[in-house]
Amino acid sequence: MTTTRRGFLGALAAAPQLLAQNPRDVRIVDVAMSREDYTYRAPLKFGGAIVDRVTLLNVNVTIADRAGRSAKGFGSMPLGNIWAFPSKTMNYSQTLAAMNTLAAKLRTITASCTDYAHPV
């Protein structure tokens, strides 16, 4: 790959735009997690496995912009360990524990990010 003078100067001219602050940029202030366990009225067969319960992972996130305004958001999803991590050697509780551990690690990583960036 050959660098041309024109390409180098173009990249150099664009560099300040990469460092410019966007007024829409936000940072994560807080990430909180909770779980809800439910038992189905009747078992479901999904992906060849029978499931009689579900654990929902709920996440609440607080963000703030550079002006100090804040907003809160909420998301929820089922931890579908039976079909997401099918295992012949681990039982339901073990695969659910693995998903809970992963979710907790992701929460910690996400909460530790304090950089401002575009919200999407």
Q: So what's the pLDDT on residue 18? A: 65
Closest CA to 29 of 118, 120, 115, 101: 115
Contact call for residues 34 and 46 (beta carbons, < 8 A): no
Rg (CA), the chain: 22
pLDDT tens-digit profile of 70-92?
A: 999 999 999 988 888 788 899 98
Sign, CA torsion 109/112/114/115: negative
Mean pLDDT of the chain: 90
Q: What is the pTM of this model?
A: 0.76
CB atoms within 10 A of CB 9: 10
